[in-house]
Structure 1
Amino acid sequence: MKLSEEQINKFNKDGFLLIRNFAPTYLCDEILEEAKKHLDKKSSPIESEQEYLKINEQTTTVRRLRQVYNRAEIFRRWMKYEKIRPILKQLLNDTPVLTLAHHNSIMTKMPKDSSRTTWHQDRRYWNFENDDLISVWLSLDDEYLQNGLLEFIPGSHKLNLKKEQFDESISFRDDLKINKQLINKAVHYDLHKGDIVLFHCKTLHHAHKNNTQKPKISFVYTVKAQKNKAIKNTRSDFKEVILD
């Protein structure tokens, strides 16, 4: 599959692109079944809600299963899915490469115990020569505002934002007037099983907590251009998988 010129222009303009019904239902179901096994066991490495909120509690609510590439073949199969490679190559203008340092994760919003994800850019996770990285978000079931759907600020990947617009955790501050004006432009689209969203690592996004009785489970991984090298001796200087 390849993107149309209109889709490429939309991604470049907005910093994200929704593609409906991309992943087969059977593949989503297999991923979800395997993810639930790891979530039930709380198999490390994980990120917990308690860690994210910087609070000390004896309970552990999984927010993210980390390093899923190494956990199961079904996860690797999706991350190396051949039908998406031409799309990623179009957007990166180069051979796409999986970066495994971060963002090869099963993302969760658990009922009652989930928290809001603050506005942020994913660039805060990376140390590469440039910021041209793309995350691939796969919906494994229905996602909507009540259970923690992602929202995006169109065109925010092109803005020259100032350091003072972010807090000490590099979250985009929602208490500043200049930031509120941008946040008011946020958009969202309900997602269904098999839908994917591609978004630039500088695109501002966030998600509400899950206010339903059912867990919301999604899959995200990130790719970069082969020519975009990691900065030596940083977190990003880690294992990669070339998708040629």
Structure 2
Amino acid sequence: MILTEKQLQSFETNGFLLLPQFADHELCDTIKDIAAAHLKHKVPPIETEMEYVGKTKEERKLISDGKAHLLEGQVTVRRLRQVYHRDIVFKRWMENEKIRPVLKQILGENPTITISHHNSIMTKMPHTSTETSWHQDFRYWHFENDNLVSVWLALDEETAANGVLEFIPGSHKMHFSVSQFDEKEYFSDALEENREIIAQKVSYPLQKGDVVLFHCKLLHRANKNSTDEPKISFVYTVKGCSNKAIEGTRSSEFAEVPLN
């Protein structure tokens, strides 16, 4: 698949691009079935809602994988981490050859999977999930530059009711001051100047097999899941092959996967 000039310009301007019905439905069902089994048994490494809500700025930067399963009592899994190494089906999706030319167009060079970030099955569990506040992924990552794009796969229907992604178009090119973010580095909706920006938000219902590409500096958020069914999605991140992780940070903790 090759993007048109119109699609490329749309990504450049808005910071995100929808690829409708990109993934085969049978693949989506297989991924979802495997993920459901891992979620049921809380197969580590995982992140829980308790960890997510309670993290400080420093904890969000330094959190270590694989500890959440040690918590006692009932926990709501927010995401399965390190999915590239969990199952061959997950690995093959992340190495999908059909999307590589698209990613190369957007990044301007060969893509490389960064195992350190995203690389997750994301969930919004019924009623027990929490809202995801406005944020830029790049504020938690450490690379030489911001040439990184996330690949989000909808495994089933995603709507405002169960936590579909919302974006602020063009926010990946906006310049923000530190004061516009709170102590956890979320984009504060308490500030009038921020509320004017947030008012520009957009979202699009997703269907099974839809893929959304979005820039690492794009402001995005999601509602909690108010339906009776879990919402399960797959997300991983790629970077331009020349964009190096900063040594000694979590971004350099895992080996990368070149997609030549």
TM bucket normalised to smaller: over 0.9
Structure 2 counterparts to residues 1-244 of structure 1, below 5 A = 1-54=1-54, 58-237=73-252, 238-244=254-260
SS, match of residue 32 in structure 2: helix
| Distance (Å, rounded) in 1 between the aligned partners of 2:190 and 2:72 | 28
Q: CA contact under 8 A between 1:109 and 1:148: conserved in structure 2?
A: yes
Q: CA contact under 8 A between 1:137 and 1:220: conserved in structure 2?
A: yes
| Distance (Å, rounded) in 1 between the aligned partners of 2:30 and 2:164 | 22
Deviations 1:78-99 (A, max 9, x none): 0000000000000001110000
| Distance (Å, rounded) in 2 between the aligned partners of 1:49 and 1:58 | 13
Alpha-carbon shift at residue 239 of structure 1 (Å): 1.1
Deviations 1:66-111 (A, max 9, x none): 0000100000010000000000000001110000012000000000
| Distance (Å, rounded) in 1 between the aligned partners of 2:198 and 2:94 | 31
Taking structure 1 as the reference length, what is the TM-score of the superposition? Answer: 0.98
| Distance (Å, rounded) in 2 between the aligned partners of 1:102 and 1:158 | 21
| Distance (Å, rounded) in 2 between the aligned partners of 1:123 and 1:78 | 23
Q: Give identity over the alignment, percent.
A: 58
User: What is the RMSD computed on CA atoms of the aligned residues?
Assistant: 1.1
| Distance (Å, rounded) in 2 between the aligned partners of 1:174 and 1:225 | 32
2:67 alignment counterpart: none
Q: Unpaired runs of 5+ in structure 1?
A: none
Question: Following superposition, which runs of at least 4 residues in structure 1 exceed 3 angstroms of deviation?
Answer: 55-58
Aligned length: 244
Q: CA contact under 8 A between 1:139 and 1:217: conserved in structure 2?
A: yes
Amino acid at match of 2:25: T
Amino acid at match of 1:78: W
Deviations 1:100-134 (A, max 9, x none): 01200000000010000000001023110001100
Amino acid at match of 1:157: H
Alpha-carbon shift at residue 57 of structure 1 (Å): 7.9
| Distance (Å, rounded) in 1 between the aligned partners of 2:139 and 2:46 | 19
Taking structure 2 as the reference length, what is the TM-score of the superposition? Answer: 0.92
Amino acid at match of 1:200: H
Amino acid at match of 1:161: F
| Distance (Å, rounded) in 1 between the aligned partners of 2:172 and 2:43 | 34
Q: Unpaired runs of 5+ in structure 2?
A: 56-70
Q: CA contact under 8 A between 1:50 and 1:57: conserved in structure 2?
A: no
